[in-house]
Structure 1
Amino acid sequence: MTQIELSANDNVLSGQDSVRGKVPLAQKTAYGTGTLVLNLLPASLGIFAFFLITAFGIDPVLAGLLSGLPRLFDAITDPIMGFITDNTKSRWGRRRPYIVIGAILSGTFFALMWQLNPEWSQDYTFWYFLLFSLAFTIGNTMYATPFVGLGYEITSDYNERTRLMAYAQVMGQIAWMIVPWFWVLIANPNLFESQAEGVQTLSLYVAGGCMILGLMPGLFCKGIDSDNIENRAEISFATLWSNLVGVGRSIIQTFKNKSFVRLCAATFLVFNGFQLVSSFSYFIIVFHMFDGDYGATGTWPAWFATLSALTTAVLVIPVVAWMANRWGKKNAFIIATFLSVGGYLLKWYGFNPDNPWMIFMPIPLMSFGIGGLFTLMLSMTADVCDLDELNNGMPRKEGTFGAIYWLMVKLGMALAMVLGGVVLKMVGFDAGAASQTVETMTNLRIVDIVIPASTALLAVVVMWRYDISEEKAHQIKQELVRRRGEI
């Protein structure tokens, strides 16, 4: 990329950008409700999937297929939807129509997907769930991909992008405060006669809430003026082949962007490391702290998850946003990641059988990992979209960048689900045993710390040479405005 010189009045323009780029609180809240939906649906899906085996009698191997096949389908639908939303022409903009339709479809198919009957045959249950799961994936892709793209274009101001993502991520953490208690609710015989009834009923509440909340960003958020977006491809059945070629071209261009590749790689490392051991805390609490006594374990795991989300929302995300505004986004990411490593190390002392309250000790530091990750990475991806327009011209590809970024997250999650079981087997964990050996729990506690700490440190190495600073982002924006005017 050629160097862009700052003009004499760029500092004045930067101040104007801060005012012009400020996102009203109502729009931030509407976008935040969408982020809540973006977290609530997959979080609920992860909880409910457990009951495919225990409540509906699906073989564990088939249950694994039902979890994995939609992720493979995502790999196809996400980039296609990104290309479609980037090139759409409508009176309501490039993103909002899909968000509205996608919210309705996501909620509808999510509810239908879980109206399973324990008396059905395994084959019927498998195909029923798979078909509605694929339909849900299409609806969710139609919602999530343009929603993420909309977030990248709501403001062009460097620091306001971080504030917007921080606000949205705080609201998104509400999902992680609520969902851990689904375990408790579904297993409560005073609420539901069976686990199956619990899943069926809760899925209706989740679906209804997500439909209502998911409509908010489509109705009340404002993206860039799409009338000024040039060089868009025509989307129709007649141009299907050229559109598929365009999808491939867009994907190649995103991966030629070195800054974006660094964001994807760092996200994959941090999130995959975190997800790989996410279930280990539950096992450590049950078998290390309470020696396999589920009654004594009670709601400690749910409180651990809920307080982690609460700490992320009220402490970590505001601090990370402050650090980003003061020291830059890359530096904020590095600091937050190092703090999370300190939190992982504290887990060795925090998971203490003699004092269960100490499990909350690592949470404030550990939460900087995921809390800092998505707040900063989503903001930096918006900056990368400006760089892409500078290098490749229009149309702007927020949808494609968002699709590829979240595809990396989903692939990391799928890989973590597979490797998590492998790691449990390697440390000698016996799922059928009432208690575990001291050696097994020691090994599990070690990998519970080493894996996320190692992947986090590797992510720091990856991000060390990320070079889109506030000054460079401002230079890029000024050159874009000079070329095509403000949009």
Structure 2
Amino acid sequence: MSAQQKNTLNLRDKLMISSGTFSAFFIRQGVGVLAIPYYQMTLAVDPFLLAAAMMIPMLLASLLGPWVGQFSDTYQQKYGHRRPFIVFGALITAICYGAIWQVPVGWQGDNQILYFIFAYSLFCLAAEFFLIPYTCLVYEATENSQERVNLLALNSIVGKVCSLVYQWAFPLAQMSIFGSLFMGIKWVGWGIAIIFIALAGMLPAFWQQSTHATRSEYVPASRPPRDLIKNLDLVLANPAFVLLLLITFSQFFISVFAASMDYYLIVYYMQTGDLTEGAYWKGILSTAYAGFGLLAVPLILKLVASCGRLNGFVIVYVITAVGGAVKWFVFTPGAEYWLLLDAMLGCIVWASMAILLHSLVADTAANRTMHATNLNGVYVSVHNIVTQICMSGAMLISGFTLNQIGFDAQLAGQQNVSTISAMRVILSIGTVLSALLAIFAIFRLKNHQNLIETAAIT
């Protein structure tokens, strides 16, 4: 079998591998989409406490990531070194996800938040044992950079399909067929856990058994040193990888913090405090993001073919900066249908993070200039730590900021004018600053092209 054949994935291979993206998506996005409208807006848990409760377990669990990554790099048995982690990680994570929504509604707020912290902590720990090995499996599925881009493009499409439905989770839980919102949350929570996290998450593990490749092609060629600190030093000494982490920071901290204001502006400014109507328009916005995001995937592939990944990335962030300026005018009362324009301008960057950023991380990890062994798990875990720190930090700062600018859920649509103005500034200006920082990092990355596996990236 030729090297080209071994590095080519057929459609069946790609579909089995990409099914894990359903699980990865709902692990990363499925808690916040229900926790904010349920724990905060319905059960009236303090926004700062909820943000802290979502940040600290995620952050602590991510610190376990390098050990999980190195363990999965070196783990060897007849079922392969990624497959057992993926199967048991998906199953246990699904059980923990369903448990998050079983909080007794009669408890006091302090007890409810303690329950959330306990259940969510178990969820975050279990998730590490799925997310890191699954991402490594995606990176290792082929050594061909273009084929990897195509696989990540399919993953992005799956992610956009998830985006079409996930924001409707809370409106679905509000339907009368469940009898009450509290029962609706339980049913929807377990539905997500079983279908999207457990079943979809375990499927990629069975791909190795039926693919044409042999097991030896998916285990490390040489066992990495067991000194985790030395491995971390090697990874963090790679300047190209550090710049990719800077792009990650710009998107998952600055941009996520800015975007955290859109739900509040829709509910408390555009819909004057009507949570049901606000959730509906938030669903419309997220659905539009997903729909336009699907259309953005072939555009990104076209940019890669014509301009290369780095130049294509710059174009993406220029569009994002323009979209950030437009947000100032879109998120105003009576402009609901203009939310579609926001989605059109903002969707491409998220698709690019799934396709361009991950392909660059994978190629950087595969490059042997900085190290001679397979350290994919360590690279993935470090990138995951930075992503988790950024996202949890963005949530924490968001909750703190809401308190500082005077937000009060009890005021409904009567929020102070200064509160609404601050939200609009954060949403618009924050998005623009995020794009500018990413563009700076991409231009610096061009100076380190030799540390990325693929030559044709300019």
Same structural fold, with TM-score higher than 0.5 when normalized by the shorter chain? yes
CA distance in 2, matches of 1:364, 1:472: 31
Shift of the alpha carbon at 1:269? 0.8
In the other structure, the counterpart of 2:34 is 48
* Deviating more after overlay: 169-178 vs 462-471: 462-471
Shift of the alpha carbon at 1:466? 1.4
In the other structure, the counterpart of 2:397 is 419
Is the CA contact (8 Å cut-off) linking 2:331 and 2:424 kept in structure 1?
A: no
In the other structure, the counterpart of 2:433 is 454
Counterparts of residues 285-434 of structure 1 (less than 5 Å): 285-294=266-275, 297=278, 299-312=280-293, 314-387=294-367, 389-394=368-373, 396-425=374-403, 427-433=405-411, 434=413
Q: Give yes or no for the alignment of 1:168 onto 2:149.
A: no
CA distance in 2, matches of 1:224, 1:269: 38
Q: Give yes or no for the alignment of 1:155 onto 2:145.
A: no
Structure (1 or 2) with the larger CA radius of gyration: 1
Is the CA contact (8 Å cut-off) linking 2:406 and 2:419 kept in structure 1?
A: yes
Amino acid at match of 2:58: R
In the other structure, the counterpart of 1:204 is 190
Counterparts of residues 193-342 of structure 1 (less than 5 Å): 193-209=179-195, 210-221=197-208, 225-226=217-218, 229-232=221-224, 243=226, 246-294=227-275, 297=278, 299-312=280-293, 314-342=294-322
CA distance in 2, matches of 1:141, 1:125: 25
In the other structure, the counterpart of 1:33 is 19
Shift of the alpha carbon at 1:165? 0.7
CA distance in 2, matches of 1:128, 1:293: 28
CA distance in 2, matches of 1:74, 1:440: 34
Kindly, what percent of the aligned residue pairs are identical?
22
CA distance in 1, matches of 2:94, 2:421: 42
Is the CA contact (8 Å cut-off) linking 1:74 and 1:141 kept in structure 2?
A: yes
Q: Give yes or no for the alignment of 1:22 onto 2:2.
A: no
Shift of the alpha carbon at 1:109? 2.1
Q: How many matched pairs?
A: 446
Is the CA contact (8 Å cut-off) linking 1:185 and 1:191 kept in structure 2?
A: no
Amino acid at match of 1:308: Y
Shift of the alpha carbon at 1:58? 5.5
Flag the 1:473–1:54 CA change in 2: closer, same or farther, 3 A.
closer
Flag the 1:351–1:262 CA change in 2: closer, same or farther, 3 A.
same
Shift of the alpha carbon at 1:100? 1.1
3-state SS, counterpart of residue 208 of structure 1: helix
Flag the 1:295–1:167 CA change in 2: closer, same or farther, 3 A.
closer
CA distance in 1, matches of 2:14, 2:393: 33
Bigger RCO (CA 8 Å, 6+ sep) = 2
CA distance in 2, matches of 1:356, 1:21: 47
Is the CA contact (8 Å cut-off) linking 1:265 and 1:459 kept in structure 2?
A: yes
- The root-mean-square deviation of aligned C-alpha atoms, in Å, is 2.7
CA distance in 1, matches of 2:240, 2:369: 14
Is the CA contact (8 Å cut-off) linking 1:17 and 1:157 kept in structure 2?
A: no
CA distance in 1, matches of 2:128, 2:58: 11
Flag the 1:321–1:469 CA change in 2: closer, same or farther, 3 A.
farther
Shift of the alpha carbon at 1:86? 0.9
3-state SS, counterpart of residue 150 of structure 1: helix
In the other structure, the counterpart of 1:7 is none
Shift of the alpha carbon at 1:149? 0.9
> Could you list the runs of 5+ residues in structure 2 that have no partner in the other structure?
none
Flag the 1:260–1:224 CA change in 2: closer, same or farther, 3 A.
farther
Flag the 1:438–1:327 CA change in 2: closer, same or farther, 3 A.
same
> Could you list the runs of 5+ residues in structure 1 that have no partner in the other structure?
1-15, 234-242, 477-487
Flag the 1:293–1:216 CA change in 2: closer, same or farther, 3 A.
closer
CA distance in 2, matches of 1:18, 1:352: 53
In the other structure, the counterpart of 1:436 is 415
Q: Which residue, out of 156, 159, 169, partners 1:182?
A: 169
Is the CA contact (8 Å cut-off) linking 1:350 and 1:360 kept in structure 2?
A: no
In the other structure, the counterpart of 1:144 is 131
Amino acid at match of 1:320: I
3-state SS, counterpart of residue 64 of structure 2: helix
Flag the 1:302–1:226 CA change in 2: closer, same or farther, 3 A.
closer
